[in-house]
Amino acid sequence: MSILNVTNLNKRFGGLTAISKLSFELGEGEILGLIGPNGAGKTTVFNCLSGFHTPDTGEMIFSGKSLLGMQPYQVCQAGLARTFQIVKPFLTISVLDNVMVGAMIRETSIKKAREASMEIIQWAGLGPMAHKEAEGLPLPLRKRLEMARALATRPKLLLLDEVMAGLNPTEVSEIIELIREVNQKGVSILLIEHVMQGVMALSERVLVINYGSRIAEGTPVEVVKNEKVIEAYLGKEFLNAQS
């Protein structure tokens, strides 16, 4: 059973084709890696899925329902949460209050929302900072906050946009563990990532896009050997030099 089914997605910004005829599927409980060089259209895919952009044509079915025409908040309420590549914490309120905003979507009682949020905060390792303003958090912790907040909305599918960028290897492996735990709880994950350590460790399947279209798909090991992928990242000349 697939939880997300994208068919023939197209999105243009003026003369620039950001996504062209992109189709992919994501199985329930799966972790799918979405990679591609800078400007390949990965974040645009996320923006279309999460309702921030309207695709020109194509269809996106999320657990049986079309996402077309939905506002971002409706997408989230339907069970599809996202994080932002450039983290967007609510700076002047506490970490707990940040997470509570997400939790209150599902929980009308403030008290219960607070308890649920506290649990997620502890799990994400933000416990000691729970009552500090988000402004004081360094980037690695902001990335965790971004994830904790999205998880508080109890998603069925989580879109993670470069949650490992800018972290050192230890921090990356910690985040990998967290993502794995989330996945084991039954949350499907679509992962945009440049940090290959993360993509390799987590994804069962990887989808590679360039100029908005799919150029390869397969297991991580298959994909990194694919000529088109190497060409997209390193250029034709690299391939010629190798052979």
Is 72 among the residues that bind other proteins (CB under 8 A)?
yes
**Which residue is listed with tokens 């971002």?**
72
DSSP three-state, residue 44: helix
Nearer to other proteins, 84 or 215 (CB): 84
Q: Of 81 and 215, which has the nearer Cβ to other proteins?
A: 81
Cβ 106 to other proteins, closest distance in Å?
8
Contact pattern from residue 149 through residue 168 relative to other proteins, giving x for each residue in contact according to CB under 8 A and a dash for the rest? xx-xx---------------
52 near other proteins, rule: CB under 8 A? yes
Q: Measured from the CB atom, is 181 or 222 closer to other proteins?
A: 181
Residues with Cβ within 8 Å of 69's Cβ and at least 6 positions away in sequence, in order, are 54
- Shortest gap between Cβ of 153 and other proteins (angstroms)? 5
What residue type is 243 in one-letter code? S
d(CA 172, CA 164): 6
Please state, in angstroms and rounded to a whole number, the distance separating the CA atoms of residues 234 and 192: 19
Nearer to other proteins, 111 or 168 (CB): 111
- Tell me the C-alpha to C-alpha distance, in Å, between residue 175 and each of 21, 88, 152, 179, 191: 32, 18, 17, 6, 12
First-to-last alpha carbon distance for the chain, in angstroms, is: 41
Does 91 sit near other proteins (CB under 8 A)?
A: yes
The residues of the shown chain that bind other proteins, judged by CB under 8 A, are 50-52, 71-73, 76-77, 81-82, 84, 88-93, 96-97, 100-102, 104-105, 108, 110, 118, 122, 127-128, 130-131, 149-150, 152-153
